[in-house]
Copies of this chain bind each other. A is one copy, B any other.
Amino acid sequence: MTRPRAYLAGPEVFLADGAAIIAAKNDLALAYGFLPNGIAEDDLDPTGLSPFEFGHRISLANEKAMRASELIIANLTPFRGISADIGTAFELGFMCALGRAAYGYTNTLRPYFERLRDDYYRGAITQAADGVTRGPDGMMVEDHEMIDNLMLDGGIETLGGILIRRQVGPDRLWSDLSAFEDCLRAAAVRFGLAVPV
Using CB atoms and an 8 Å cutoff, list the residues of chain A in contact with chain B.
13-18, 50-52, 54-56, 58-60, 62-63, 66-67, 80-87, 89-98, 116, 120, 134, 137-140, 142-146, 148-155, 157-158
Contact = CB atoms under 8 A, between A and B. Distances in A.
A139 B90 CA distance: 21
Contacts of A145: 50-52, 55
Total identical chains: 2
A16 B152 CA distance: 23
Prevailing SS type, chain A contact patch: helix
Give the top 8 A-B pairs by smallest Cβ distance, nearest first. A59-B154, A16-B138, A55-B144, A93-B93, A81-B81, A90-B93, A97-B97, A55-B150
A187 B83 CA distance: 30
A174 to B, nearest CB: 10
